Amino acid sequence: MPCDVTSAALDGRAANVHCPGKSFLVCSLLARHGHPQAGASGCTCFPLILTLKFFRNVVLLQHINSLRDIFKEHHDHAEEHFRDDILSKARPLADKLGIDLILPRICSPQTHRANTAGLDFKSYYRTRLYIPYLDSLVTSLTSRFSSNNNARFNLLYLHPKMMQELEREEFKSLITVSNELYHIDNLEYEMMNWFDCWCAKVPEVAKTLDTADLLEHCDFFPAIKQAVLTVLTLTASGHYV
């Protein structure tokens, strides 16, 4: 029995997806773990689950990039942020709890870590704790979510719902990065016709489509069809991040 999928489902509200053929929760759990039985027994909500997960991965990557930029900005202006965001709140709290904010006792030169320039309380904790912690965050996010992984995500922008958020040249740039990985013939030519084709349609139409539905619109776009099939073969569990 087909699933009742509302347009709001593509906005991330999975509660609006009702699956009478199989419990949506069961399908979701199977999809999360990449189980081969997900979508079996006539359940048609599984392609939607894949679409939702793919979209959330794109949004997740965008959010991580924003966080990384924020941490870098805090690092570049460490003195200001440490004073206004941390120290200004720590001092009243320490006074309330009867804790003295003082330097740790240093009896001899450090041998296992760098010596700190200056002996005032604010400089010590800014240079020994705050800045190294920001460095660690930025390094971790950069290594785990590097730009080398963007090519896999960028193909998701072939979905009309995602295209609506992009300018023409921005869309071209993103798909070009993906094609450097997949080398799909004529994709760079067809993708602009694909973009223009969907921009001419009513925006609400895109919200009712899952990724698999795009195959029905690819009769004159063989390269786009191959790209969509590539998207559908990507794992929905997010391990390719």
Domain coverage including residue 228: 147-235
Instruction: Look at residue 218 in the predicted model and tell me its pLDDT.
Output: 93
SS3 126: helix
Q: Which of 103, 124, 144 represents a domain boundary (last residue)?
A: 144
Q: Is residue 174 part of a domain?
A: yes
Q: Which of 96, 122, 144 represents a domain boundary (last residue)?
A: 144
The token duo for 144 is 């785990």
Q: In terms of domains, do 136 and 167 share one?
A: no
Report DSSP letters for 131-193, one per residue: HHHHHHHHHHHHHHT-GGGHHHHHGGGGSHHHHTTS-HHHHHHHHHHHHHHH--TTHHHHHHH
Q: Is residue 61 part of a domain?
A: no
Q: 211 near 228, Cβ under 8 Å?
A: yes
Q: Is residue 47 part of a domain?
A: no
Q: 192 near 123, Cβ under 8 Å?
A: no
What's the total number of domains in the chain? Answer: 2
Q: 55 near 153, Cβ under 8 Å?
A: no
Give percent above pLDDT 70 in the chain.
65
Tally of residues, the chain:
241
Q: In terms of domains, do 118 and 190 share one?
A: no
β-pair partners for 5: 17
Q: Is residue 99 part of a domain?
A: yes
Q: In terms of domains, do 213 and 192 share one?
A: yes
Instruction: Look at residue 235 in the predicted model and tell me its pLDDT.
Output: 63
Q: Which residue has the higher pLDDT, 218 or 39?
A: 218
β-pair partners for 18: 4
Q: 138 near 73, Cβ under 8 Å?
A: no
Q: 10 near 52, Cβ under 8 Å?
A: yes
Q: Using a CB cutoff of 8 Å and minimum separation of 24, what contacts does 214-220 make?
A: 214/158, 214/159, 214/160
At 106, the pLDDT band (50, 70, 90 cuts) reads low
* Per-residue burial over 154-172, b = 16 or more CB atoms within 10 Å of its CB, e = otherwise: bbbbbbbbbbeeeeeeebe
Full-model pTM: 0.50
Q: Which of 144, 175, 203 represents a domain boundary (last residue)?
A: 144
pLDDT single digits (tens) 66-87:
888 999 999 999 999 999 988 8
pLDDT single digits (tens) 96-105:
999 888 877 6
At 154, the pLDDT band (50, 70, 90 cuts) reads confident
Q: Is residue 1 part of a domain?
A: no
Instruction: Look at residue 7 in the predicted model and tell me its pLDDT.
Output: 38
Q: In terms of domains, do 166 and 228 share one?
A: yes
Q: In terms of domains, do 201 and 159 share one?
A: yes
Q: In terms of domains, do 155 and 138 share one?
A: no
User: Alpha helices, DSSP H only, in 17-130?
Assistant: 24-32, 46-76, 78-81, 88-97, 121-125
Q: In terms of domains, do 129 and 174 share one?
A: no
Least confident of 119-133, 139-153, 172-186: 139-153
Residues 6+ apart with CB under 8 A from 237: 31, 32, 33, 34, 53
Q: Is residue 38 part of a domain?
A: no
